[in-house]
Amino acid sequence: MVEEILRKLQPYFERIPSVERPKQHVPFRQKLAWTVGILILYFALTNVPVFGLDPSSIDLFAQFRALFAGAGGSILALGIGPIVTASIILQLLVGAGIIKLDLTKPEDRAAYQDFQRFLVFVMIAFEALVLIFSRSMIPNAQVAAQLGVPISFITFLIFFQLFIGGVLIVYMDEVVSKWGIGSGVSLFILAGISQAIITGLFNWVVPPNSQMPAGIIPRWVWIAQNYGANILSADGLLFLLIDGGVLALITTIAIIFLVVYAEGTRVEIPLAHAAVRGARGRFPIKLIYASVLPMIFVRALQANIQIIGMMLYQRGITIFGEYVGSQPVSGIMYLLSPVRSPYDWVPALVKSNPIFADLPEWMIILRLLIDATILIAGGILFAIFWVETSGMDAKTVASQIARSGMQIPGFRRNPQVIERLLERYIPKVTIIGGAAIGVLTLIANMLGTIGNVSGTGLLLAVSIAYRFYQDLAKEQLTEMHPLLRRFIGEEV
């Protein structure tokens, strides 16, 4: 029923403007130029503030900023949130069978993609309204008075700027995906996290209510100047480990190596061309088969729950928890908020914050257990959804291998035969990989990371950087050997 309505509305969805795909091969230098140009534009737009915004406004996505990209208070405040949220909603609807689409069929896949594009624009408008009505984006009354316009006009102006920023992110993503290298969404996440890590290392600015600089290296200089030999004591070493950022630095380096190792761990299925003797290849089934995208979906789901909680709190409904800024401090919203550092789960460190001084220890431990469950179980669930809806399942892959003229040596050239062989590996690796990413994210969050990018953000950055390197290598290879474009450009 729902899918029939979608097909009837599809002609209208197709009218939504989109970036045209290149009609011929785009040279590597041109792709690189488009990618770098969009990246520069992205950084420029993150520094364009929303006109008419009151200084008391808060960044509702502050805890998830590394994940959603963009920048609080700028016209890109929404970041990639609408794109991710629309993808989650559609995947859940298809995965639950509410929308019955066979994504192996071209017409169903086209309907899925067109509806997703429409849903992204709906989510841009919805999330912009949420930021306004949750009172995190507050219109400036002085600006309204100076312009001689009602405050409602400034509110509309803020909404319009946020909507335009969200639309720009969508089209910038399309330009990179079609004319550049890799994915625009991945590029924006990598750019934001890389910037946060560099800032977390070298920032000399001293935050409010603190004596030490924000960056790790300047912090070490300050500690050496103020502590001296006392840093060698037990308390001093503990201070250096946690407050000095040494633990965060060690965790960051360890996670980088673990993700690179996991990305390189794979089962390779040998392939041979049925018609061309000597033409051989391999289909790699990586340990992190669904990549780290399931973690984006998990954190995005948590972010949307937190937004709903804040909206209710702003309307005087405190049954689900209370907030200080964008931080939940009690109730179920506190229990569902993500753990980001030792200051979120070690009772003594949590209670060192006056806000949580009276918080029961059982709530602190329960929050950690809930976050661990969400990350691991959510990682498995969304990994399965992603594989099934993105054409990475055994049936779709087997069909692609058969269409490319390849076969598995020793087996008949039959999609069903290839599918049965792939079924031995893909479902198991999907579950193991989803759980492994959840565990790595949990460990990184518990120990802290450089720049407070969160474990999810760090895993995303490393995985995206690794795949971006692979995309660069592939582009250079096809540039040198044009005949390989057909085989390398089509991922089977």
Model confidence at 230, in pLDDT bands (50, 70, 90)? low
Q: Give the mean model confidence (pLDDT) for residues 420-432.
A: 88
Using the predicted structure, report yes or no on whether residue 35 has a pLDDT greater than 60. yes
Which residues neighbour 82 within 8 Å (Cβ) at sequence distance 6 or greater? 120, 121, 123, 124, 126, 127, 166, 169, 170
- Per-residue pLDDT of 88-119, as tens digits, reads 788 777 766 677 777 667 777 777 778 888 89
The number of residues in the chain equals 492
Please name the residue ranges forming H helices in 203-276: 216-227, 234-242, 246-264
Spatial separation of the C-alpha atoms in residues 422 and 264, rounded to whole Å: 19
By three-state DSSP, how is residue 324 classified?
Answer: strand
Model confidence at 490, in pLDDT bands (50, 70, 90)? very low
pLDDT of residue 175: 93
By three-state DSSP, how is residue 365 classified?
Answer: helix
Q: Name the token pair of 149.
A: 């316009």
pLDDT of residue 374: 93
Query: Looking at 165-174, 219-228, 346-355, which range is the least confident one?
Result: 219-228
Spatial separation of the C-alpha atoms in residues 394 and 58, rounded to whole Å: 45
pLDDT of residue 491: 41
How would DSSP label each residue in 81-146?
Answer: HHHHHHHHHHHHHHHTTSS---TTSHHHHHHHHHHHHHHHHHHHHHHHHHHHHTTSS-B-HHHHHH
Q: Name the token pair of 227.
A: 């502590």
Spatial separation of the C-alpha atoms in residues 283 and 268, rounded to whole Å: 6
Spatial separation of the C-alpha atoms in residues 334 and 38, rounded to whole Å: 37
Which residues neighbour 128 within 8 Å (Cβ) at sequence distance 6 or greater? 78, 159, 162, 163, 166
CB 80 within 8 A of CB 166: no
Spatial separation of the C-alpha atoms in residues 262 and 26, rounded to whole Å: 32
CB 12 within 8 A of CB 164: no
- Per-residue pLDDT of 302-332, as tens digits, reads 888 888 888 888 788 888 888 887 788 889 9
Spatial separation of the C-alpha atoms in residues 8 and 122, rounded to whole Å: 18
Ramachandran category for residue 180: left, alpha or beta (phi over 0 → left; psi -120 to 50 → alpha) = beta
Query: Looking at 37-51, 147-161, 234-248, which range is the least confident one?
Result: 234-248
Using the predicted structure, report yes or no on whether residue 121 has a pLDDT greater than 50. yes
pLDDT higher at 401 or 42: 42
Q: Give the mean model confidence (pLDDT) for residues 377-402.
A: 83
Q: Give the mean model confidence (pLDDT) for residues 18-42.
A: 88
Q: Give the mean model confidence (pLDDT) for residues 26-33.
A: 86
